[in-house]
Amino acid sequence: MSQFLLSSIIFLPLFLALVILVIPAKNQALQRILALLGTGWIIIASVIIWLTADTQAGIYLYELAPWFSLDLNTLGTLKFDYFILADGLNLPLLLLTGISLTAGVLASWKVREKSKAYFALYLLLAASIAGCFLSMDFLLFFLFFEFMLLPMYFLIGIWGGPRRSYASIKFFLYTLFGSILILIVMVAMYGNVVDVDASAAKIGLTESQTNIEYVNKGLANGDFEKKDLVFANHFVNLNTSLNEQSTQVLAGGLLDGNVENRFMGRPLRYWAFLLLLIGFLIKLPAVPFHTWLPDAHVEASTPISIVLAAILLKIGGYGLFRIVYPAFPDAALHYAWWVGLLGVIAIIYGAMNALAQKDLKKLVAYSSVSHMGFVLLGLASFTSEGLNGAYYQLFSHGLISAMLFMVAGVIYDRTHDRLIENYAGLASLMPKFAVLASIAFFASLGLPGFSGFIAEIMVLLGAFHSNSVNSLLPMWMAIVAALGLILAAAYCLWTLQRMFFGEVFLRKEIWRLEMVDLSRREMIILVPLALLTLVFGIFPSLLLSVTEGAIEPLIKQVFENAAMFNAKLDGQ
């Protein structure tokens, strides 16, 4: 059964999308249930993998099948595979995908307008997000990565708010722009990263280990012609340690850090890193590439906001972990200071902006920007606690932002108005809702006991520690970033106080009839999310025991590989 478990995560939602297309439009209940089935399966499958996984092993489960290859004659052979895999780096995010998409389906329960198209697109989105996390072949990844934009564009553009066309086109073009940067690097990598195993096979060598060394040596000496080589780009190979190197950057190629391959004085590798970095920073989003996010959130409907914040943004962070840092470790260390600075700026600037917002959803959107800054800061620190904390933040923010957008959605559902100043004292009208909103906001400001605390404290500790461990980040960065905690408390508690406490006030008296407490469906969305943030806040080992196995080797290899590339650079 486990043979096609991974594929089922991608293809079951896809299949169900097709089923929804053929069932009658009137049968809306069935559409909803199928959508729930598709997204629920992602949860079930990832829990199965999680429970059966041997966390000591690097890779839990994988499926590898040849997809197609292009023989470019003198340019060598390009090999593309259908390669999907679950390990400590994507499994938590896969689970998060399932959780947030399921929450999204439940939040879409009342979509009646063109519901057939809606749920079909929604499942398409689910499949492409899951595919994006699972793929290990760069082309396959890119395919899913790009494909995600299409359903998202329509989901914002058709079921969104008044300025939905502007927001959706902005979202589409902006992220497409980032994709193009990634595409450039992908093309460059496909011509320059040699799959040593496959090349050895092509040359006619069969015994594996010695031949890998032979090919590696030959590559280093430039013994082989390009036409003998096979180029492939599996992420998992970027990440293997040096002694069993099965991926090799083509000597003298574009991505070899030698003197000729420079542009404006910097090795092309550095430029490739920067392009990839910006590509994923747009997705994350990091300041100054973030302005698509508030617009997209404000115009998107509640479920789409949940999906957008909880999981789409995480692909940006995941890309950094999975692709950017393993592929260009030397550049990553070289630019760590700048990445850390971007993180600090995002934390403070995002929080400042959140403080100024009048629209609840925009406030949450800017708080996302601020929280994603912690991911960058943690990544830049290259310490155990920093990287694990950054990853924890990805996961934790997924849960918390889903809750916060649901809170905004609950209010919007009732009144079609999201201005903070139009409400006060909601706690007296909707006590259950006030409790859950308070939990969401306190989780967001990083109260101990909630998952956000673990993430943020680990990132801050790691960022400060970096100075004495690897001298990448100065001490002031962590200290300035810590100020973000005050701002987070300010915007969260101020919002809570203004909207939920004090005397009851509603801008329009007629709203009072609408402001009934949470329905059972809304409870079913919010309560499990609240419990999950608590569980992951109290038992951090649940998640860390999984991610540690992927992140620790990553840190080690980044330093080792960076040393190798830097030695090459110095040798010239």
Among 60, 80, 145, 292, binds other proteins (CB under 8 A): 292
Among 39, 199, 547, 557, binds other proteins (CB under 8 A): 547
Among 64, 447, 563, 564, binds other proteins (CB under 8 A): 447
Q: Does 531 bind other proteins (CB under 8 A)?
A: no
Which DSSP string corresponds to 227-290? GG-EEE-BHHHHTS-GGG--EEEPTTSTTS--SSSEETTEEHHHHHHHHHHHHHHHHTT-TTS-
Q: Does 356 bind other proteins (CB under 8 A)?
A: yes
Question: In angstroms, rounded to a whole number, what is the distance separating the alpha carbons of residues 540 and 449?
Answer: 10
Which DSSP string corresponds to 511-545? HHHH-PPPPHHHHHHHHHHHHHHHHHHH-THHHHH
Q: Per CB under 8 A, which of residues 377..396 are in contact with other proteins? A: 383-385, 388-389
Quick one: tokens of 469? 């461990």
Q: Does 430 bind other proteins (CB under 8 A)?
A: no
Say if residues 393 and 371 touch (Cβ distance below 8 Å): yes
Which of 366, 377, 378 has the alpha carbon at shortest distance from 404? 366
Q: Does 353 bind other proteins (CB under 8 A)?
A: yes
Q: Does 493 bind other proteins (CB under 8 A)?
A: yes
Query: Which of the ranges 252-260, 441-449, 509-517, 524-532 carries the binding residues for other proteins, by CB under 8 A?
Result: 441-449
Q: Does 365 bind other proteins (CB under 8 A)?
A: no
Q: Per CB under 8 A, which of residues 252..291 are in contact with other proteins? A: 287-288, 290-291
Among 58, 161, 191, 449, binds other proteins (CB under 8 A): 449
Q: Does 485 bind other proteins (CB under 8 A)?
A: yes
Query: Which of the ranges 66-74, 95-103, 481-489, 518-526 carries the binding residues for other proteins, by CB under 8 A?
Result: 481-489
Mark 548-571 as b/e (b = at least 16 C-beta within 10 Å).
bbbbebbbebbeebbebbeebeee
Instruction: State the number of binding residues for other proteins (CB under 8 A).
Output: 67
Q: What is the DSSP letter of 4?
A: T
Question: In angstroms, rounded to a whole number, what is the distance separating the alpha carbons of residues 381 and 473?
Answer: 6
Sign of the CA dihedral running 44, 46, 48, 50: negative
Q: Per CB under 8 A, which of residues 150..179 are in contact with other proteins? A: 170, 173-174
Quick one: tokens of 80? 């593309």
Nearer of residues 353 and 444 to other proteins, judged by Cβ: 353
Which DSSP string corresponds to 303-364? HHHHHIIIIIHHHHHHHIIIIIHHH-HHHHHHTHHHHHHHHHHHHHHHHHHHHH-SBHHHHH
Q: Does 422 bind other proteins (CB under 8 A)?
A: no
Say if residues 551 and 381 touch (Cβ distance below 8 Å): no
Q: For the chain, what is the total number of helices (H) and then of strands (E)?
A: 26, 9
Sign of the CA dihedral running 545, 548, 549, 550: positive
Q: Does 534 bind other proteins (CB under 8 A)?
A: no
Residue 352 CB, nearest approach to other proteins (Å): 4
Strands (E), 90-133: none
Q: Does 233 bind other proteins (CB under 8 A)?
A: no
Strands 193-195 and 247-249: antiparallel
Nearer of residues 268 and 351 to other proteins, judged by Cβ: 351
Residue 287 CB, nearest approach to other proteins (Å): 8
Among 47, 158, 482, 563, binds other proteins (CB under 8 A): 482
Nearer of residues 36 and 89 to other proteins, judged by Cβ: 89
Among 425, 432, 564, 566, binds other proteins (CB under 8 A): 425
CA 185 centroid distance within chain: 19
Q: Does 555 bind other proteins (CB under 8 A)?
A: yes
Among 205, 251, 419, 489, binds other proteins (CB under 8 A): 489
Question: In angstroms, rounded to a whole number, what is the distance separating the alpha carbons of residues 361 and 295?
Answer: 10
Nearer of residues 395 and 500 to other proteins, judged by Cβ: 500
Say if residues 492 and 371 touch (Cβ distance below 8 Å): no
Among 551, 557, 558, 561, binds other proteins (CB under 8 A): 551
Residue 439 CB, nearest approach to other proteins (Å): 11
Which of 362, 427, 408, 403 has the alpha carbon at shortest distance from 534? 403
Residue 268 CB, nearest approach to other proteins (Å): 25
Sites of contact with other proteins (CB under 8 A): 170, 173-174, 287-288, 290-292, 349, 352-357, 383-385, 388-389, 425, 427-428, 434, 442, 447-449, 453-454, 457-458, 460-465, 467-469, 475, 478-479, 482-483, 485-486, 489-490, 493-494, 496-497, 500-504, 540-541, 544, 547-548, 551-552, 555
